[in-house]
Chain A
């Protein structure tokens, strides 16, 4: 039984230090960023009563998107030109709209604006944050799969210090994450993929808008000179109980030449690797079938490149 919805108090810290100090209280307050998930519960009267930590008032968490230089690779980045980009850092309060408006991020990490478009309408994109999408740990999150495919790391801060956790290690089960209650996601760091990497982002739903994906695949592949797969990332949303990186299928592919035999082997591996969920949005059978089709499409179009 929920208590009265009136039992909702808000801490509005003015600095990060204050925010982190607040999180040391028992029980710790629940961080509230864009709020687009929590507000749904609040409006429905289903929000757990308690104290919420309003991050909107913390300037340190609103730092603009940062793009920093990486190591120069003379072969790809012309001599005398600018340093090649190496990493993109999003702040805790970076919104989907911020990313869509950022020309350099659009160019360097093209799957992010595609995901931003799927998260919801413009009205939601301008509030919802990438960090919130990670922290909320929905298996249907649209923003997490591309970040995971790009090998993003999550920057977790607490009064005790800062630590970095690979996003692919962040989830351990349904709504289970590596974040401790006293920690805040203060940033997301995304290495820019190697030049020539090929990405794939596709979401399948019933309706075009706010489909709440039935199946989503974010993929990234790096090919060598003789079409061998140097590195591949396959991340699915809405298939498993949490955002899922198909490591077994990845390892079957890595080191192999990209050719029809490899594609069918990968699809067969994926078919046994995934244990899809059944819910009102779709069935396990549909999810498995379509996940395999999406993988086939990704590898097939990559072969054609």
Chain B
């Protein structure tokens, strides 16, 4: 049996680079197509960089541990819990928050569907729910009910608008497949 990768990790001599921090360091983020330059301590999470060190309050700070999905943003187009990563790691990679979903004043089909289906109550979990839905439909344009549940399982809604969220995701899926985005 061939051993994949064996011996390919070589341990050449290297120099240990300098540590950053604990004091503030510059950090450049690309949020909704806009360059955001801030000074933050290296421990600052992407969520707090967005909410506390710039003006993006769409991502919400709810559970502090990746258990609720309220801070979901798209990073390289993929959903991540922004409270679960350092802002420094997001540098140079496109970030989409709920504020960036609508384009040129036109709502994203997922936003339209959430509006139509009353897919929220208090609305505080909605930004995360919208971004998870956008990510889900990108990977799976026609999800089954079970796939919708799996795609959104990490987004808690205490008001429990879940049943109307099912409707909204299905409606958005239909609309988007009828007129696929460029």
So, do A and B actually touch in the complex, CB under 8 Å? Answer: yes
Residue positions of A touching B, CB distance < 8 A:
5-22, 24-25, 29, 32, 34-36, 39-40, 42-44, 51, 54, 56-57, 60, 63, 66-71, 86-89, 97, 117, 120-124, 126-127, 155, 157-162, 186-187, 189, 191, 208-210
Contact A209 B154 (CB under 8 A): yes
Q: How far is the CA of A127 from the CA of B46 in the complex (A)?
A: 13
Binds A, one of B16-24, B94-102, B113-121, B166-174: B16-24
Q: How far is the CA of A155 from the CA of B81 in the complex (A)?
A: 29
With contacts A43-B45, A51-B19 taken as known, whether A126 is within 8 angstroms of B79 at the C-beta atoms is yes
B66 surroundings in chain A (CB, below 8 A): 36, 39-40, 120-121, 123-124
Listed from nearest, the 8 A-B pairs whose CB atoms lie closest are A121-B154, A17-B14, A8-B43, A68-B4, A43-B64, A22-B16, A89-B4, A21-B14
> B17's contact among A14, A186, A209, by CB below 8 Å, is which?
A14
Q: How large is the interface on B (under 10, 10 to 19, 20 to 34, 35 or more residues)?
A: 35 or more
Contact A10 B86 (CB under 8 A): yes
Q: How far is the CA of A111 from the CA of B16 in the complex (A)?
A: 38
Residue in chain A with minimal CB distance to B78: A126
Contact B154 A122 (CB under 8 A): yes
Contact B11 A161 (CB under 8 A): yes
Residue positions of B touching A, CB distance < 8 A:
1-7, 9, 11-22, 41-43, 45, 64-67, 69, 72, 78-81, 83-86, 88-89, 132, 135-136, 150-151, 153-155
Contact B69 A17 (CB under 8 A): no
Residue in chain B with minimal CB distance to A39: B84
Q: What is the number of contacts between chain A and chain B, taking CB atoms within 8 Å?
A: 179
Q: How far is the CA of A56 from the CA of B86 in the complex (A)?
A: 10
With contacts A20-B14, A123-B154, A159-B13 taken as known, whether A189 is within 8 angstroms of B42 at the C-beta atoms is no
Contact A54 B17 (CB under 8 A): no
Most A C-beta atoms less than 10 A away, residue of B45, B84, B89: B84
Contact B5 A89 (CB under 8 A): yes
> B86's contact among A6, A18, A35, by CB below 8 Å, is which?
A35
Residue in chain B with minimal CB distance to A159: B11
Contact B21 A87 (CB under 8 A): no
B5 surroundings in chain A (CB, below 8 A): 63, 66, 89, 155, 187, 189
Residue in chain A with minimal CB distance to B153: A209
9 A–B contacts from the bound complex (CB under 8 Å): A8-B21, A11-B20, A13-B16, A17-B11, A32-B86, A54-B88, A117-B150, A123-B69, A127-B81
With contacts A87-B3, A210-B67 taken as known, whether A22 is within 8 angstroms of B17 at the C-beta atoms is yes
Contact A18 B83 (CB under 8 A): no
Q: How far is the CA of A284 from the CA of B9 in the complex (A)?
A: 42
B132 surroundings in chain A (CB, below 8 A): 121-123
Q: How far is the CA of A158 from the CA of B89 in the complex (A)?
A: 24
Residue in chain B with minimal CB distance to A95: B78
Q: How far is the CA of A123 from the CA of B70 in the complex (A)?
A: 11
Q: How far is the CA of A211 from the CA of B158 in the complex (A)?
A: 17
B136 surroundings in chain A (CB, below 8 A): 122
B41 surroundings in chain A (CB, below 8 A): 6, 8
Q: How far is the CA of A206 from the CA of B129 in the complex (A)?
A: 23
Q: How far is the CA of A5 from the CA of B132 in the complex (A)?
A: 31
A121 surroundings in chain B (CB, below 8 A): 66, 69, 81, 132, 153-155
